[in-house]
Amino acid sequence: MIKNKWGRVPLVLLGFALFNTACAQNPPLTGQAFIAEERLVGNSTVLLNNASYLVPLQKLEELKIASVHFSNQYATVFDSLLNKYNKVDLYDGTTYSGNKTLANLTSDLKFYNTVIVQVNDADLSNPDLIDFISSNQKNKNVIVAAFGNGSVLGKLDVITAPVIWTERVSQVSAMYSAEAIFGGIGISQKLTKNYSPVYKTGMGFITDKTRLQYTVPEEAGINAANLQGIDKIAQEAIREHATPGCVVLVAKDGKVIFNKAYGYHTYDNVMPDKLTDIFDLASMTKVSATTMEAMQLTDQGKLSLEKTLGDYIPLARKSNKNDIQIREVLLHQAGLIPDIQSFEKVKPTDHSTDSSAAYPTKVSDHYYLRKDYYKDVMFPEMLSSPLKTRGQYVYSDVSMLFMQEVVENITAVPLNTYVQQHFYTPLGMQTAGFLPLYRFTPDRIIPTENDKEYRMSLLDGYVHDPTSALLGGVAGHAGLFGSANDVAILYQMVLNKGSYGGTQYFKPEVVDLFTSKQSPVSRRGLGFDRWDPIADRHYPSKLASDQTYGHTGFTGTCIWVDPKYNLVYIFLSNRVNPSVGSKLGSLNIRPRIQDVVYEAIAKGL
C-alpha cells in the first residue's frame, strides 16, 4: 500500500491552469534571468531510454494522454505547458492512498495509451511507485519526467520507459521538461558521469525542436518592455468600444513570446477573456480550412490549379462557371459575385422553430432550415449568378463556397471532417473546428452579434456569417472557430514550409506557391491575402515586409505571417458584439499592435 507521504493536492481532471500574462506560460522569471535559468536547465537535462523515439511525441491524433504528479511542487506549470500541445488529463497521485492504491490509479488510466509521470527523489523512495511505472510501461507509452540530483537515476534502473531527467528543480525546469516531451525544445545533453550501473557516462538521446516553444520575448532577441505598447492599444480598443475584449499572440522564431487576453466576453464585464477562449474566426476560415485542404490536395496531385470548376463540379458544366480555372477562383478573379442572398430570401415555410426530418439544419437556437435548402436554393443561385468582373480582383465569399464543392467532390469527405482529421487533430489544435457547440459549452466561446432581425438571439457558438449559418455552420468561407494558440500552431506549420511535430503536411514548394503573389492585378496569393504594395494603405501594417501573408475576419480577427522576420501575429476579437461596429478598423487597432511588434524587433535587447 502506498503511504500518503506527499501531502494532499486537489485533484484536477478537467482543465489546466490559465495564465493571462504577457507570456503564455507565466514564467517565474523575466528577461535575462529566465534565459540564464533556462540555459542551466538545458545544460543539465538528459533524455534516456529513447531508443524507440517516443520523445518527442508524434501522431497526436492517436494518443490519449494523462499526466500524473505526486510531490512535484511545480506540477501546475508542467501540466499547463503540456496542455499547450495537446489535451492532457491530469491526475494527482497523492490521492491514491489509504483505501485507494496505485493499482486503482492504474485502473483509472486504462483508457489512456500514453502516461507522463512526474517524479522526484522523495517520490521514488516508495517502491510501489516504481512498480506502478514498471507495470504501466509494459502496455502503454510511459514517459518519466524526473527532477533532482543524480540519486533519482539510481532509483530508476529498472525503468525502460523514456526518462527526461534534470538536476534543476524550478518552474523553468518544469516548463522545459514539458516542452521537451512535445518537441517545443530539443534535448542535446548526455550524462557526464556514471549515476548507476544502468545510467553511465555518455548516455543520452538527442532530439530536435519540432513544435512551438513558450518563453519570454528576450529568448527571441526582444526586450519585453518594448511590447508594452500592445497593452495600451488593446485597452484603447476596449475603452472606445471597438471590441469588448481580445486576445493577442506573437510567435517569433518558433517561440510564443507574447500571449495575452484583454477585456471581457461582452460589455457587461462579467466574464473576462481568457487565453483559451474560442473565437468565431470568420473569413480566416478561407485560409485556415478551405485553402489548407486545397494545398494538401494540390501537393497530392488530386487538385490542379489549371483545371476548371466544370472538371470537379458536374452541375457546373452546363453553367457559365464551367471553364473557370481553380486558380482564378482562389485569386478572387473568376468574376464571381461577392455573396448570394441569405436570410432575406428565406421564406416562412423554409424554416421552423423545431427540428424534424423536414427541418434538420440547425441555424441557431429555435431556427431550423428545411431539408436540402442549400441544394435547392443556394447552390442553384451560385450556379446561375452572373460573371461581370472576370479577370478583375473582386473579393468573393462565393469563390470559397465553390472551392468547398471542389474539395468535397475530390475527397468525398465534408470540409469540416477533412480539416479536423488531416490538420487540426494531428497538429494538437484542441479547440479549432466547425460547430463548436458540439464539443464545448457556450461559456468557452466568445459571443458575436445579438441578431434581432433573423435569428432573434445572441450568437454564441453559432457562426456570425449569415450565408454560412444557412449552410448549417460549415462553409468554405466562414464557420471556423478556434483559440489563438490553435491558430498559432497551424500557421507555424505553414511558416515551417508545411512541417510541424515531425509531420510534413505539404511540400515547401506548395507553401511558396500559395502564399506568394500570384496575381497580376492584385496583391493576392492563392487563397491568401498579402502585403499591399500601395504604401499609404499600410496593409496589413506599416512595417510588415513584402513577404507577409495571412487573412482578416469580419468578426475582428486576423492572422499574419511574415517569413522575413520569422513572425506569426494573431489578433482575435468580437468587434460585432453586440452589433456590428467599425471602430476596430477606424482606430487601426490590429495594424498598430502589429507595428509595436516590428518596432520591438528593430530595437532588439
419 and 341 together in one domain = yes
Mean per-residue pLDDT of the chain: 94
- The answer to whether residue 420 sits within a structural domain is yes
pLDDT at 127: 93
Contact present, 176 and 56 (Cβ < 8 Å): no
- The answer to whether residue 576 sits within a structural domain is yes
Question: For residue 23, what pLDDT band results from cuts at 50, 70 and 90?
Answer: very low
- H-helix segments, 259-378: 284-285, 291-299, 309-312, 326-330, 373
pLDDT (average), residues 171-197: 97
pLDDT (average), residues 50-68: 98
- The answer to whether residue 18 sits within a structural domain is no
Burial class (CB in 10 A: 0-12, 13-18, 19+), 566: middle
Q: What's the CATH number where 271 sits?
A: 3.40.710.10
Distance CA 465, CA 463 (A): 6
Q: What's the CATH number where 108 sits?
A: 3.40.50.1700
- The answer to whether residue 21 sits within a structural domain is no
pLDDT (average), residues 267-286: 98
398 and 476 together in one domain = yes
Percent of the chain with pLDDT over 70: 95
pLDDT > 70? residue 63: yes
Rg, Å, the chain Cα set: 26
pLDDT tens track for 534-573: 999 999 999 999 999 999 999 999 999 999 999 999 999 9
What DSSP character marks residue 173? H
506 and 406 together in one domain = yes
* Residues counted in the chain: 605
- Total number of domains in the chain: 2
Contact present, 488 and 421 (Cβ < 8 Å): no
* Domain limits for position 112: 31-211
- The answer to whether residue 47 sits within a structural domain is yes
Domain limit, last residue, from 211, 240, 260: 211
pLDDT at 27: 53
Tracing cell 517520490 back to the chain, one arrives at 123
Question: For residue 29, what pLDDT band results from cuts at 50, 70 and 90?
Answer: confident
Domain limit, last residue, from 211, 242, 257: 211
Contact present, 302 and 410 (Cβ < 8 Å): yes
37 and 108 together in one domain = yes
pLDDT > 80? residue 20: no
The angle at the Cα of 456, spanning 452 to 462, to the nearest 5 degrees, equals: 110
Q: Supply 480's cell numbers.
A: 471556423
pLDDT (average), residues 459-487: 98
pLDDT > 60? residue 11: no
58 and 126 together in one domain = yes
Q: How far is CA 142 from the centre of its chain?
A: 26
537 and 503 together in one domain = yes
pLDDT (average), residues 416-420: 98
Question: For residue 345, what pLDDT band results from cuts at 50, 70 and 90?
Answer: very high
pLDDT tens track for 264-274: 999 999 999 99
272 and 201 together in one domain = no
166 and 287 together in one domain = no
The angle at the Cα of 216, spanning 214 to 218, to the nearest 5 degrees, equals: 135
pLDDT at 8: 30
Distance CA 115, CA 141 (A): 6
pLDDT tens track for 190-221: 999 999 999 999 999 999 999 999 999 999 99
pLDDT at 4: 37
pLDDT tens track for 361-404: 999 999 999 999 999 999 999 999 999 999 999 999 999 999 99
Distance CA 305, CA 329 (A): 9
413 and 456 together in one domain = yes
pLDDT (average), residues 238-246: 98
pLDDT tens track for 74-99: 999 999 999 999 999 999 999 998 88
Contact present, 400 and 290 (Cβ < 8 Å): yes
pLDDT (average), residues 233-241: 98
pLDDT (average), residues 467-494: 98
Question: For residue 16, what pLDDT band results from cuts at 50, 70 and 90?
Answer: very low
Domain limit, last residue, from 183, 211, 239: 211
144 and 277 together in one domain = no
pLDDT at 97: 86
Distance CA 429, CA 489 (A): 7
- The answer to whether residue 567 sits within a structural domain is yes
- The answer to whether residue 186 sits within a structural domain is yes
272 and 125 together in one domain = no
pLDDT tens track for 119-167: 999 999 999 999 999 999 999 999 999 999 999 999 999 999 999 999 9
pLDDT at 55: 98
Question: For residue 280, what pLDDT band results from cuts at 50, 70 and 90?
Answer: very high
423 and 523 together in one domain = yes
For residue 567, give the amino acid letter.
Answer: L
- The answer to whether residue 220 sits within a structural domain is no
